[in-house]
Structure 1
Amino acid sequence: MKDKILDWIKAYDKIIIHRHIRPDPDALGSQGGLAEIIKASFPEKEVYLTGEEDPSLTFLVEMDDITDETYNGALVIVCDTANSPRISDERYKLGEKLIKIDHHPNEDPYGDVVWVDTGASSVSEMIYEWYEQGKDKGLVLNKAAARLLYAGIVSDTGRFLYSNTTVKTYHAAGELVDMGINPQEIFDNLYKVHENTARLNGYVLQNFKIVDGCAGYIHLPAGILKEYGVTVSEASLLVNAFANVEGMLAWVFFVDEPGQVRVRLRSKGPVINKLAMRYNGGGHPMASGATIYSEEESKRLVQDLVKLCKDYQSSN
């Protein structure tokens, strides 16, 4: 499959790369890292990035402003996006051919070519693996690509603390650092918070709830975001604020958005991505996202999460 993707890239003069809505560093790292590899390897090709911007992550890479006509005769590649409704910029449908590169469970196998590796820590790790296999066939890894891929790996592994970190992950990270990137610059930018976000973290620690000693949750209403002067994206970064509470197996973070509620689910054991799929979302077995539209839904989701934790306890 990696060879087929390289063959398709070689065959097209114009390539447009997408990723998921509400981008995280792996979405941007894999999207931008792939673009940098293609541009360094094939300077004659037109390569574009598209999707909505997150101001807190523009230090990594910024998107291009392209017209609908740009898609004429283009190869479209979508990185780090399990389900087609979550692809940022619906114009991905306008291209001539479509490639999906992802590490989430392949519940929605959209695309003409699909490369999914659920054992990879991140799509950024997959892009490095693709480069490594193709470096004898013309692929070039530059420092800009290395920086982006490293950021994606660091983020999706929780700085190499999560269980998805493997020997392959460490190998890729080591090779990327050897390119001369500055890991400290990446860490500083990824994990810096404004003072108001730090103060909101205190609010979260004071107000989160634990149900039956195993499932945690907190709901941040729009009024709280306004009081602390934080955006939805900034508030969502605090999802792991109470992750290390003893006995808690899984937790959910609700953040109000206009017309809907952003949901972030995390787990230390129970598989939560199928639960997320029942609430307009999806993701990894231990880290998923969803969207709900009412307080009733949030109560039901918490009840479902508690049941999931109880079932997990009884089976282990």
Structure 2
Amino acid sequence: MAARRHKGHEEHEEHFDESWLVSYADMMTLLVALFMVLFSISSVNISKFEDLQRSLSNAFSGKVLPGGKGIQESGGSDPSVSSVVKAPDTSALVAQDGTAKQQAAAAKAEGENLEALRKAIAGAVRDRGLSSRVRTRVTRRGLEVRLLTDDLLFASGSAVVQERGAGLLRDVGEILGMESQHPVVVEGHTDDVPIATAQFPTNWELSSARATGVVRALTAAGIPAKRLTAQGRADLDGIASNRTASGRALNRRVEILLPRQVAPPTDVGATTSGDPAVTAAVDAAFPSISPEIQP
């Protein structure tokens, strides 16, 4: 029995002596891994290090930009370097210049077309002896035909086109129908004297009806309806003072506009042409297209 207890004790002691090997093995494994990591960190890739050295050297002392100098050589203030950096794309400049020339050529051609129409309308106006009632101009807006309505297009407070005006509108419509590229905008204008009838409660209705009457006359002359637009402006865009009878007469008008489709160059000066047959008195009676309210 004692022998068996002794044998069991020896077996227990043998098991106890072997258990430390596990911890020892784990510690050695960790140490090996640590030394491997330290070794890998301390190792230097010579080729990569040399590449990095060359890159840094070129960045701080090399001639990176064409025709330029390094920062250490010139302090970064060489004007040749600045010129290289800021030089525009010449191909883009050539394209922009070509586009500008094409636009200028198109605007010139359009202006010549509008001027030909203006001359034809001015001739028809002269033939009818109405030069003192009609003004034709080619401006930056386009072709403008301004007609005073009194004793020509409409009677007072009416939107029915009179016979004398109907003949003129027929001539104008036939001339404008010779080309089909431009829309035709007809604007009706009145003075500031209120109107209050069953047909025209305000000047808005009167100016709109007069513009519509002119549009119908131009349609009858052959201009397609899709090119025409009628607008009533009442007394908003006066060109003269409403304090005098002559000023109010100037404000009672109809304007026919062919808007430009190509904007003229901004550096072009005066682009307005007038009828040389129109006298200075008529020029004074027709201020600029921009409203000029006189005191």
**Length-normalised TM-score, structure 2:** 0.23
Name the structure, 1 or 2, with higher relative contact order (CA <8 Å, separation 6+). Answer: 2
Question: Relative to total residues, which structure has the larger strand share, 1 or 2?
Answer: 1
Max radius of gyration: which structure?
Answer: 2
Question: Relative to total residues, which structure has the larger helix share, 1 or 2?
Answer: 2
